[in-house]
Amino acid sequence: MKAKYVNPFTDFGFKKIFGEEASKPMLIDFLTNLLPETNIVDLTLKDKDRLGRTEDDRKAIYDIYCENSSGEKIIVELQKANGATLRQNYFKDRTVYYATFPIQEQAEKGEWNYQLKYVYCVGILDFTFEDKIKSGRKEVIHTVQLKDQHNAVFYEKLKFVYLEMPHFTKQEHELETRIDKWLYFIQHLEDFQHIPTIFKDDIFIQAFEKAEIAKYSENERYDYEQSLKVYRDLKGVIDSAYFDGKAEVARKLKEKGMDIDFIVEITGLTREDISRL
């Protein structure tokens, strides 16, 4: 059956739903529920092309760069890592590196007291971190801050929030919070043929309207198809690397004589997959 709605993991689909001026109500609702401490009343979409020092930096910069009415900076990236990123674990390095851009942007000429506004970095990941695969932990939302040796927050104005979408497995009847609904929307949008009852409010209806392929111009549909092709090609690489990571964990557990059912539970691989290792 042909998809009615865009795949939000494509660059085109993500921008349509969250990254355009007309999409601000959806973006505000999503970020308000993910980052309730920001107290977002309004957002200004900022020129992300000004971030970064080199042309390569600007090509790889976050998908959305915005600022709330208090001057706090929020950068959002839909991250579709390639196999090399998964294996070499450079994604964390890059998110920290790019987080410095909205910090440096706040510098003022002349005398300045170095007081900074909060910076929030949100990564929506279509993969899981390699170290999380090995540990067996399956949290969806990871919040990261600078802490000291006593696990106390050392600097509260910089926060990273990573959403590992492969670990979000809730079904419709299990959704409890607003952010649950947003994650479910992102995870399953391309599969919907109608708007589920749980999404019958103004914000989500607007999101579905923005995502409906039939409403796009011919040029927009072409751009979406190209974006979808890039995503599917890249997803094939990601899935292969992800399987390899789980297979390595399973292989080590198998060598230690661990029970097959335990390995299945930890890795998500089938008994047949494990027997072939």
What is the pLDDT, as a whole number, of residue 184? 97
- Per-residue pLDDT tens for 153-169? 999 999 999 999 989 99
Asked whether 35 and 68 are in contact (CB, 8 A), the reply is no
- Please report how the helices 178-188 and 24-34 are oriented relative to each other, as an axis angle in degrees rounded to 10: 120
pLDDT value of position 206: 97
> Nearest-CA neighbor of 87 among 132, 143, 43, 129?
129
Q: Who's near 173: CB < 8 A, 6+ residues apart? A: none
Q: Please report, for residues 25, 102, 146, the alpha-carbon distance to residue 206 in angstroms, rounded to integers and kept in the order given.
A: 9, 30, 37
Q: What pLDDT, on the 0 to 100 scale, is given for residue 237?
A: 59
Q: State whether residue 78 is helix, strand or coil.
A: strand
The residues with which 142 forms a beta bridge, in sequence order, are 162
Size of the chain in residues: 277
Q: Is the pLDDT of residue 121 over 80?
A: yes
Give the whole-angstrom CA distance, residue 191 versus residue 7.
9
pLDDT at 54 (0 to 100): 54
pLDDT, tens digit (0-9, with 9 covering 90-100), for 67-120 = 999 999 999 988 775 544 444 456 788 888 888 989 998 998 888 999 999 999
8 Cβ neighbours under 8 A, 6+ residues apart:
14, 17, 78, 185, 186, 189, 190, 211
Eight-state DSSP code of residue 105: T
H or E segment to which residue 76 belongs = strand 73-79
Single pTM value for the model: 0.79
Quick: pLDDT tens for 162-218: 999 989 999 999 999 999 999 999 999 999 999 999 998 999 999 999 999 999 999
For the cut 80, the answer to whether the pLDDT of residue 14 exceeds it is yes
214-236 tens-digit pLDDT: 999 999 999 999 999 888 876 66
The pair of three-digit structure tokens given for residue 25, joined into one six-digit string: 């109500």
Distance CA 275, CA 254 (A): 9
Rounded Cα distance, 241 and 130, in Å: 10
- Helical (H) or strand (E) element with 161: strand 153-164
Closest CA to 249 of 266, 225, 236, 229: 266
**Distance from C-alpha of 256 to C-alpha of 87, rounded to nearest angstrom:** 23
Between CA 182 and CA 94 the distance in angstroms is 26
The rounded distance, in Å, linking the Cα atoms of 28 and 64 is 12
